[in-house]
Structure 1
Amino acid sequence: MICELDVSCGSRYSSFDSYRRHIYRCHRSLIDSFGNNDTPSSNIHDIVDDLENIFSHPTFSDESDAINDHESCIYPDEELDDTDRELLNFDSTVVSIANEQVNFGRLAQFYTRFLLELREYHLLPQNVVQSISSKICSLFDIIIKLFKTKVSSSFISIIDMEAVFTHVSFIINSVSKSEYNFLKQCKNDFDYQPPTEIKLTTNEELAYYIPLKQSLFCMLQNGQLLQATIDNINSLSTRAAKDNDLILSNRQSRSVKSNLSRQTNSNSLLLKLYTDGIGITNPIGAKKDSHKFTCFYYLLDDLPDIVRSQVNSIGLHCICYTKHLNNDNNRSILMNILVEDLNKLQTEGITIPCLSSRIYFVFSTLSSDNLASNEVEGFQKSFSSGSFCRHCFVTYEQRHIPLTEISFLPRTRIKHDMIVNKVIANNDGQIIQGVKNESWLKDLIGFHATESLPPDIMHDIAEGACPLIINALLKEVIQQRLLTYSDIEQRTSCFIYGFYDSSNKPPPVKRQQLIHSTIAGTASQKLCFFRLFPIIFHDIIGDLTLLPLYTILREIISYIYANPLRKSWLPYLDGLCKQFHCLMIEHLPDRVTPKVHFLTEYTRSIEMHGLPILNSCMRFEAKHLYFKQIAIRTFNFKNPLLTLTKRHQLRYCMLNNSNSFCYSSSITVRSSKSIKWSKLSIPVRRLLINFINETDLIYECTSIYYHHMNVRTGSIVVHHLAHAEEIPIFCQIHRLLNIQEKTTIIAEMLNTISFDENLWSYEVEFSGTLVTIDIEHCFDIHPHCLDMYDVEHVHYINLLTRISPRTGLEGSVLG
């Protein structure tokens, strides 16, 4: 909408809220005059009459703001977080009420949904929700009084109107006055599935779990997500058949192939599990203490990448106190229930109403950190003695032996089962070759301790090898007196990260951290710091004798984190890992930790478990944040297990009824303005002349959200791969245009000059050549936007992974 309240205004808005704020800010006199006169001004009257016509334009979304009037934006640089973007999906559901038959049942359903959003998206406590309901009822009382005093027409029955409002107030109060009524309404309207209580050895020792059949049925019942998952499986299978060298999914791994071969039904989806501990703290009161829980999550391994990347796609299966699992009887009771639930899901499957056949599930892998993996598998939990590796028979004393001279036997099914039987027969608690007891999930169909627990790149690399090498490099910087401790802290604090890297900006490196050989930050921050380390210290990086350790590890990461990955890369990757291990023994023998050895197992793990990036714990760890937020907001520590599981299920039922799993094309315009054809530069007009007419409406956007990813002007994307060496050719986005309801990108091509091994970055220069790119194909080669960094007036682009062209895209250009 365009503001025409003043001849000199002309500000454009795409939502009424932003337009209303503009009116109150810039045209207050008109509102004041409207309040003082009985007859409203014609301008205000026209605005109200034309609102529906203004909103009908498809280019704008409700959350857009004026782009050409920065004073009208309260937070011009504010970015939407994941919750805000998810909440936008609810708007279409609410608007559709206007076209439906309205009755009191529909009102109760709408109001219950409103309370769900308040509680589970905004995480408001119950007493605040009840207060809001009370104020709404008070508002209705005022409205009734106003009707009584103002309405005198015989066509309206005040008694009938008062009865309607009274009934509405009764519904609002009845839904929100108690937890029981609210949960009952959620169950009726949104298929809320309450958690199931499990009594362990005593009545005070409890666990809660959600049967997988119920959760997966609610997730897949509308059929659209299921169809998208099946299409994704078929698409990846077709691409893999065209290029046998590509590894595209975990279905190509040896362990999953073995499990799929046991399933006679072809309609099978892969189910991944995850387990880890989570801690919450009650900071005050008589119950001041910490609570440590063990959580079991699940994820459909075949979900499209767009859905799989969302934390909401991860479901909760079970939660219990960690201390209760230390008891053998408690652990046996809980595992028997979980294993039985998983086995029934694999053998019986579930029936989806939209399909004529049943859907079956196949267990793929169990992801977790090294400590949890060893505990679930029955291995020793110590990594400082004995046979610490669950993949081979290396001992702690043998970790300094270069792998160029010796190779350690891998653990196999037969050998492991023999050791387990010997441990059980001895029954004296003795650890034999790293095996302490039998696995918790020994009866789970498709599970085996040597084949079902892949290594985790988050703990082994992002939190393991990367900070280890960073610390060693910075210590050498101090020893060579290239920089002081304060210089390092200032440089890491003042470095300007790019837009996409800024979300993972690490904290500055302080003196005490280097002395104690620690690097602060999350896994994502440590990985970001490691990736940009040569650029941050570009002036001294070439003087470091430990630089070969960095470059080899950086090349290892480029292969391990790659998606897709090629089988022909594996022998070279294996050589790199062994070379890194040998250099660590030579230069940093005191820092050869078990995680350094774990790197040498990744080549074999890729063949057994599939792509490491798909088995990473990163997204599962992000799931913990939700439970920690709930614990802080609710402040309920009497029975936190029930509180957390119940709130998770409320959120889950809300997501399942809101199309939150975005699996189709999703483009959200953050802000835009109309632009005339004549205002476009001549090169841009030449590009567009064959696609549009000069009279077509053109809207320019500063940023858009494409599948929850912020695409903005200045972003770098991979345009294509050149030659047999697969050299990436980049382009920089100059304009984001919406023409005829289609988003078109105008980008400038960048020439890739060379690859700088010291900076581990591609040197590029601007070519002056403009190209058009369809947003739907912008990320076919690399699914992320990138930042550009300037080092001594030269432009560099830093890529984390090795890029391989997907089938059908070799040598092609996105357009």
Structure 2
Amino acid sequence: MGWQCKICKSFSTTKGNLLRHYRLQHATFGRGQHQPCLYGSCPCTFKTQGALRTHLSRYHAAEESPRPGVITAFKCLACTAFCSTQKDYFQHIGNHLKRHETVFCVFNGCDFRTNIYNTFLKHKGRRHTSCSLTDFKKEVLESHPSQNTDHSDVPELNNDECSSDVDPESASCTVLQGLGLLLLKLESTYNVSVRCIDALVEDLFYISSSASVEAVKNIIDSALKSNKCTVDHTIIKDLAEQLCSSHPISRALGAGGPLGSAFKRNKYFKKHFQFVDPIEYILDAEQKKSFQYVPVLKTLQVVLKNKDIAVEAFSRCSSSTGHFKSIFDGTCFKDNDFYAVEETRLSIIIYVDEFEVCNPLGTSRKKHKITAVYWVLANLPLRLQSALTSIQLALLCKSVDVKQFEYKVVLDPLLKDLVTLEQEGVFISCLGRNIKGTLHCVVADNLGAHAISGLVESFNGPYVCRFCLGHSSEYQTYEVRSGVFPLRKKDDYVLHVQAVKENPNLVPHFGLKRSCPLTDQLNHFHFVSGYPPDVLHDLFEGIVPRELALCFQVFLKKHYFSLTELNNIITCFPYKGSDKLNSPQTIPPNFAGRKTIGGNAHENWALIRLLPLLVGLRVPEGDPVWQLLLTLKDIVELVVAPVHTTQSIAYLEFKISEHRVRYLEVFPDQRLTPKHHFLEHYPALIEKYGPLVGVWTMRFEAKHRFFKQVVRHTNNFKNVLLTLSTRHQMMMAYHMQSKEVKPALLVTKISRMPVDVLHPDIQADLRARSPSLTCVQLATTVTYSGTRYTAGMILSNGSTCGLPDFAEIIQIVVLDNSVYFIVKLLAAWYVEHLRSFQLEDTGKISLLEQQKLGDMWPLASYNVGRKRLVTLKRYICAE
């Protein structure tokens, strides 16, 4: 009966029509999104249409459509025109309604009729939401025997039918929308300048309108001669000129067309795509100081208009008792009365940071430094939160203006929207009602968190911790778990704010300079529980590079290796998989004087994790400095764990205490930094916020790259905030035009194999899951929930005596959109000096389900000496 779109569930009559439908209606190709295979039983997805066509010809050439030899078209009951796709059909009906012509409902058993466009949409949305092809009236569906069954890309209707099957107005709108998306992609995704696009539009208009006249005239003349028709050349030329001038591309790009100029294009984008316009707020009119704000409530409505995203957002559930898997398992969420209701409430996480759009070493490094406020909907699962298109822009302001006018003024429009969200909610069209929400927490580095919360922005004073009231002079003497440092409480905060207001001479009072504007305005957000720690800056750009520098100094003095040897080892190590992407950089010669090895978070994380494999055999067992680094490696694995239990939190607390003791013993002349003190709060903060990787700044910081690229390509500083915010919203509108949520399973290449040729144990496991299975789909590489699995990778599978078991991937089986691994089971022995596991093949083969792995993250094994070793990336909690 046709081909169904996997995104919008509409139907097309041929495979070629469906491919064109994907390209024009959903614009899924060429923008980093994945288009699923047209055949429902095939799990493959593709980034380009060429890859999809190759796949279809290679793997599905002999397969038939749902009903071979039959073409279904949609017949309009008002004018008897035909449309080849369901979407085009309803667009055609809409054209009748816009002219106030009466239209009957096209579904079985429904006598509804109207001449009002919005009334028809409401009726269809309420009564026929989950319709299928079989629900249409018989007179609507027109079936025609096809002349061939090869399912080529050429529509299978004859020429006479094609002349009446296509509604010109609907076809023109489709071409216009596709062309608009193309120009929007060039401007917002590839950062092509407006001047360049104007030149492109001008040339395309000339080619489609004037330069094509002669070619079209020849085509018409040739067609007439082949059909033995004689027509005057003047008429043919006039016909060719009219065809070229009336072509949808010519009409769209001409002087009077909606895409003919930059102004008209922007107007068209804002009207026809889901564009949320940034608003400019004036700080000082005389000095021309302002900032750009993107309304949060409007953006929420646009995001949740997508039903797939809404389903993901409103299907949240807490974990079982004793497990911490997300922010919803932390006490900060559970103790908030706002969420203690049956109806779903929205949780917002905002991120505040400063970034340079110019060369940080150049003369303009502070002139255009920008403070950005992003936000993400915390109700979404982590795999969707991590997508950069899920991170929304709220505010852009010059950093100097933020310091001059303070956050209370700059954040005012954002706070008003959040207050409205708390008290009244936002209307969600797919639910048909208002949904309330609030700000869950503010993610920022230590400096940003202190700046927005009203604490001192210097970490050399007496009270520098936002979690407790401990004096910094006592950090060297007492641990946090000793109970010496009282935690900050809401009652204490009220007293401190009152004292600062009554007596300015007390500023700062217990580290507080002024009240937190977010706490002042919002009823369900508080300073004490609203600022989680930042693992990225505390550990990976703080403690880890500093302690590595100190330890490397000792290793060099003891002649375990030289700096040149160390750098050669780091450079020549055979990194695999994601380790190759994030491989550590060489150690700079001046690291001792700087007291840090530098590097970004990913590089430092990779270095501390792989260091035992790099130089572990060169360091004697029992070396106290080496034991310090190994303890730090244990802490890193625990902190970045995506799941925690009460036992793992207690173990982390013990490891942090052990690390502190070892650090003071090995480096008695070194003082503990404030970040060492913040680290000691982590066990309690995990209970409060859930796994800390759910509230770190790692993914948010990647958002800065977009704005830096825009500035580099446009080189426009006249109103840089307006340029950046508008370009960002154009980019978001472009991505929101696609109705799909990125699928959890992505496969690009599969092969089919009979079950009978597999290992007997694998056959038994597969048939236990699907008794009628005769053939399986095998792949060497798949991506599931953002994690890439490849043959040869090492998986964690269960545990024995508290230690994880491992298996090596041989092949990957895709069965009913689920992933299974055919693996070799490995025996593992823990090598404490290297904090790694030695692997040996057991000769046994098994089938593992991806959902039941002990840890979803695949690892790489390395040959060190004569041993095959694997080291964990994060601590594995027993379920």
Same fold, TM-score > 0.5, yes or no: yes
2:654 to 575, 600, 603: 575
Q: Give runs of aligned pairs for residues 13-162 of structure 1, distance below 5 A.
A: 58=42, 61-63=45-47, 102-140=170-208, 141-152=210-221, 153-154=223-224, 158=236, 159=238, 162=241
C-alpha distance 677-426 of structure 1, shift in aligned 2 (>3 A)? closer
Q: Is the CA contact (8 Å cut-off) linking 1:746 and 1:770 kept in structure 2?
A: no
Q: Is the CA contact (8 Å cut-off) linking 1:108 and 1:172 kept in structure 2?
A: no
- Percent identity for Structure 1 against Structure 2: 22
C-alpha distance 126-782 of structure 1, shift in aligned 2 (>3 A)? farther
State the partner residue of 1:439: 516
Deviations 1:765-807 (A, max 9, x none): 1222222345xx357532322111222222222112222244x
State the partner residue of 1:38: none
Q: Give runs of aligned pairs for residues 481-560 of structure 1, distance below 5 A.
A: 481-543=559-621, 544-560=623-639
Q: Is the CA contact (8 Å cut-off) linking 1:718 and 1:779 kept in structure 2?
A: no
1:717 aligns with 2:795: yes
- Distance in 2 between the 1:303 and 1:525 partners? 28
State the partner residue of 2:114: none
Q: Give runs of aligned pairs for residues 140-539 of structure 1, distance below 5 A.
A: 140=208, 141-152=210-221, 153-154=223-224, 158=236, 159=238, 162-167=241-246, 168=248, 169-173=250-254, 174-203=257-286, 204-231=288-315, 233-234=316-317, 237=318, 239-240=319-320, 244-261=321-338, 266-281=343-358, 290-328=367-405, 331-403=407-479, 407-428=484-505, 430-441=507-518, 442-539=520-617
Deviations 1:616-645 (A, max 9, x none): 111111111111111111111111101111
State the partner residue of 1:785: 858
Q: What displacement does 1:729 show?
A: 2.0
- Distance in 1 between the 2:773 and 2:409 partners? 72
Q: Is the CA contact (8 Å cut-off) linking 2:334 and 2:340 kept in structure 1?
A: no
1:125 aligned partner, one-letter code: S
- Distance in 2 between the 1:177 and 1:629 partners? 26
Deviates more, 1:54-63 or 1:338-347: 54-63
1:800 aligned partner, one-letter code: K
- Distance in 1 between the 2:809 and 2:455 partners? 51
Structure of higher CA gyration radius: 2
Q: Is the CA contact (8 Å cut-off) linking 2:327 and 2:691 kept in structure 1?
A: yes
1:649 aligned partner, one-letter code: Q
Q: What displacement does 1:103 show?
A: 2.7
Q: What displacement does 1:733 show?
A: 1.5
User: Secondary structure of the residue that 2:517 maps to in structure 1?
Assistant: coil
1:754 aligns with 2:829: yes
Aligned residues: 716
C-alpha distance 96-184 of structure 1, shift in aligned 2 (>3 A)? farther
Q: Give runs of aligned pairs for residues 632-671 of structure 1, distance below 5 A.
A: 632-659=712-739, 661-662=741-742, 664-669=743-748, 671=749
- Distance in 2 between the 1:781 and 1:416 partners? 42
- Distance in 1 between the 2:345 and 2:393 partners? 21
C-alpha distance 423-496 of structure 1, shift in aligned 2 (>3 A)? same
2:266 aligned partner, one-letter code: L
Q: Is the CA contact (8 Å cut-off) linking 2:388 and 2:703 kept in structure 1?
A: yes
C-alpha distance 284-309 of structure 1, shift in aligned 2 (>3 A)? closer
Deviates more, 1:513-522 or 1:189-198: 513-522
Deviations 1:148-168 (A, max 9, x none): 023224589855564343232
C-alpha distance 58-131 of structure 1, shift in aligned 2 (>3 A)? farther
Deviations 1:560-593 (A, max 9, x none): 2222211233334323323322332332241511
C-alpha distance 692-485 of structure 1, shift in aligned 2 (>3 A)? same
C-alpha distance 160-791 of structure 1, shift in aligned 2 (>3 A)? same
Deviates more, 1:703-712 or 1:518-527: 703-712
C-alpha distance 261-282 of structure 1, shift in aligned 2 (>3 A)? closer
Deviations 1:509-563 (A, max 9, x none): 1322244222232111111111111111121233532123223222223332222
- Distance in 1 between the 2:667 and 2:610 partners? 22
C-alpha distance 742-376 of structure 1, shift in aligned 2 (>3 A)? closer
For structure 2, the 5+ residue unaligned runs are 1-14, 17-36, 55-83, 92-166
- Distance in 2 between the 1:625 and 1:805 partners? 37
Q: What displacement does 1:383 show?
A: 0.9
User: Secondary structure of the residue that 2:596 maps to in structure 1?
Assistant: coil
Q: Is the CA contact (8 Å cut-off) linking 1:749 and 1:770 kept in structure 2?
A: yes
1:570 aligned partner, one-letter code: I
C-alpha distance 354-688 of structure 1, shift in aligned 2 (>3 A)? closer
User: Secondary structure of the residue that 2:484 maps to in structure 1?
Assistant: coil
Deviations 1:579-622 (A, max 9, x none): 32233233224151111111111122223333211111111111
TM-score, normalised relative to structure 1: 0.81
C-alpha distance 665-583 of structure 1, shift in aligned 2 (>3 A)? closer
- Distance in 2 between the 1:300 and 1:370 partners? 22
State the partner residue of 2:700: 620
C-alpha distance 352-427 of structure 1, shift in aligned 2 (>3 A)? same
- Distance in 2 between the 1:259 and 1:103 partners? 53
- Distance in 1 between the 2:508 and 2:38 partners? 74
User: Secondary structure of the residue that 2:727 maps to in structure 1?
Assistant: helix
Q: What displacement does 1:734 show?
A: 1.4
User: Secondary structure of the residue that 1:266 maps to in structure 2?
Assistant: coil
- Distance in 2 between the 1:258 and 1:172 partners? 57
C-alpha distance 749-286 of structure 1, shift in aligned 2 (>3 A)? closer
User: Secondary structure of the residue that 2:590 maps to in structure 1?
Assistant: helix
TM-score, normalised relative to structure 2: 0.75
Q: What displacement does 1:314 show?
A: 0.9
User: Secondary structure of the residue that 1:207 maps to in structure 2?
Assistant: strand
- Distance in 2 between the 1:678 and 1:257 partners? 52
1:584 aligns with 2:663: yes
- Distance in 2 between the 1:568 and 1:150 partners? 78
2:808 to 729, 732, 735: 732
2:252 aligned partner, one-letter code: I
Q: Is the CA contact (8 Å cut-off) linking 2:754 and 2:774 kept in structure 1?
A: no
User: Secondary structure of the residue that 2:747 maps to in structure 1?
Assistant: strand
C-alpha distance 779-397 of structure 1, shift in aligned 2 (>3 A)? same
2:624 aligned partner, one-letter code: T
Deviates more, 1:586-595 or 1:363-372: 586-595
User: Secondary structure of the residue that 1:270 maps to in structure 2?
Assistant: strand
Deviations 1:445-495 (A, max 9, x none): 322222210111111111112112221221111110111121112111211
Q: Is the CA contact (8 Å cut-off) linking 1:700 and 1:736 kept in structure 2?
A: yes
Deviates more, 1:275-284 or 1:337-346: 275-284
- Distance in 2 between the 1:142 and 1:676 partners? 56
Q: Is the CA contact (8 Å cut-off) linking 1:736 and 1:744 kept in structure 2?
A: yes
Structure with greater contact order relative to length (CA < 8 Å, sep ≥ 6):
1
